[in-house]
Amino acid sequence: MASVTFKNNPVTLAGSEVKVGDQAPDFTVLANDLSEVKLSDSKGTVRIISVVPSIDTGVCDAQTRRFNEDASKIGNVQVLTISVDLPFAQKRWCAASGLDNVQVLSDHRDLSFGEAYGVIMQDLRLLARSVFVVDSSDKVVYAEYVSEGTSHPNYEAAIEAAKAAK
C-alpha cells in the first residue's frame, strides 16, 4: 500500500491499491441530487478522478478548480472530484464555485470508491488525496497517491496522462 501522511502524521489506508495498467474498478458514489453515479456511466471517455479529503478546504478547493480549468482545454475528458463530504455540502460548494467542467461526487454512504481504490484514511474516515486517470477502455493510465494529504498533487503529470489517453 501507498505510504501517506496527513498533517505529517502517518495514516493507514484501507482498500485495494490501484496501479497503472490495472482495469479501473467500478464504484458507486452519490451526485448532489442523491442519484447514484458509477464509473461505468462514463465509459468511452477519459476520466480524471480527483480525490480530496474535503471540498471545503483550501487545497481541495484549489485542486478541484485547477482540474476544472485544465480539463476544459482537453477534448473528451471528464473530471470527477470525489470526497466523503455530504452531497448537500458539495451542492452548496458547487453553487458557489461556478465550475462547469467537473462533477463533484460523494462517497460518504458506503465508501465504495475509497475501498475500490485504496484511499480510505481509516482513522479519519476521509479519502486520501489522490489522482487517477482512466482511459476510455477503463484502464488506469495514471495513479498518484499524494504522500502528504495537505500537499497538492502533480497536476501537470495527471493532465499529460489525460491528454495522452485514448
Q: Which three cell numbers stand for residue 94?
A: 458547487
Residue 129 vs residues 13, 21, 80, 114: alpha-carbon distances, Å: 11, 20, 13, 11
Contact predicate 17/140, CB 8 Å? no
Catalytic residue list contains 94: no
Catalytic annotation, pick one of 30, 51, 60, 134: 60
| Of 52, 2, 43, residue with least CA distance to 24 | 43
Residue 46 vs residues 54, 117, 126: alpha-carbon distances, Å: 24, 17, 25
Catalytic annotation, residues: 60
